[in-house]
Structure 1
Amino acid sequence: MLSHVSKFSRYCALHGAALVIGAGLSHGHAASLITTQKLDWETAEKLAATAVRICARQGYSVTAAVVDPSGHEQVVIKGDTVPLQSLSVSYRKAYTAFSYGQAFGKNTTSELIAAKLTGPSNGALNTVPEVLFIPGGATLRKADGTVIGGLGVSGAPGGEKDEACAVESVTALKGDFQ
């Protein structure tokens, strides 16, 4: 039995057609495929777990979420006694740090807020699904500055405490982002 490639090659030979492998990839044409880098699941899990442990050492039970370059949750680690809303809030902080950190070159949700990148004074951007301008999110970057995701932490008594845990976790594992 002939394979599909063999059948196609035979058809081309019989009908005078050329079989071209890799067409469109040379002669200065851009490739039709792109490659996106993201953390592997083990590193993403380690990053979230480290943030939860850092906060736990300070007496805070939190949830930590990592989003990948598509903006989807890659990992969620939930502390033992966190309120239910910390699940969605940690994701939204990670998403905001990732998407707006990438767009505006900021590294945390606090930096976005300080730069007044929260949108119009009526808070319209806060009505966009998944966006949340509250401290507690950190943008994940490779050494060359390429954004590869976001980390959000929620559950400590104050976003600045959440963000401190997120930033400390990112700093501790930054070498694993290469």
Structure 2
Amino acid sequence: MKRVLLPLLALGLPVALAQTTPAAQPAPQPVQLAATRTVTQVSLSLSAAVRIAQLAVQNCAQGGYNVTATVVDRAGITLAVAPAENAGPHTLDASYRKAYTRASARNTTAAIAENIRTNPTSAELARIDRFLVLAGGMPIRVDNVVVGAAGVGGASGTIDEKCVTDAITTVLGR
């Protein structure tokens, strides 16, 4: 063992000397898990998300606006994106960020913007990564539970908001 150990130590390699007695190893301890509970969540279906996005774009197109609509789930994960054929490239990011802001803050982007305007301590909300505090992001609720959000970008805040609100109402019947 000395012949092997010395060259290994000279190379700077760590060497562990194991004891051969079984008593040297501590007995494994049982792991105690905290009590768990299950949570039931309502989710927005992919088909409903696609219909909301497409309808929001159609609603705005009727007014002559080329927009993009994005629908996200309650965690801000994109479910559907629908751009109008002539929508500007900025509308993709704007629609996503409006939807993400809405899903994160659980409030309309118009209400968040008003809160920031009237409450200076809320101004830092606008600095959160991916937040866009402009009107046009709306909640998607099922039985008063937020299951996602939709955002439209490309017209103006109030027009974006109307297009998406009408789409949500049409698809979900609320």
Quickly say closer, same or farther: Cα 1:70–1:119, change in 2 above 3 A. Answer: farther
Secondary structure of 2:139 counterpart: strand
Partner of 1:125: 125
Deviations 1:73-101 (A, max 9, x none): 11100110111111111000001112112
Name which one, 1 or 2, has greater alpha-carbon Rg.
2
Partner of 1:168: 166
What RMSD in Å do the two structures reach over aligned CA positions? 2.4
Deviation at 1:110, TM superposition (A): 1.1
Q: 5+ unaligned residues in a row in structure 2: which ranges?
A: 1-32
For the residues of structure 1 that align with 2:75 and 2:162, how far apart are their CA atoms?
Answer: 25
Deviation at 1:119, TM superposition (A): 7.0
Question: Does residue 1:74 correspond to 2:79, yes or no?
Answer: yes
Partner of 2:153: 154
Aligned residues: 142
TM-score where L is the length of structure 2? 0.73
Deviation at 1:160, TM superposition (A): 1.0
Identity %: 34
TM-score where L is the length of structure 1? 0.71
Question: Does residue 1:99 correspond to 2:104, yes or no?
Answer: yes
Q: Which amino acid aligns with 2:74?
A: P
Q: Which amino acid aligns with 1:58?
A: G
Q: How does 1:1-178 map to 2 (within 5 A)?
A: 29-31=35-37, 33-101=38-106, 106=107, 108-116=108-116, 120=120, 123-143=123-143, 145-156=144-155, 158-175=156-173
Conserved? CA contact 2:68–2:81, under 8 Å: yes
Q: Which amino acid aligns with 1:160?
A: T
Deviation at 1:116, TM superposition (A): 3.4
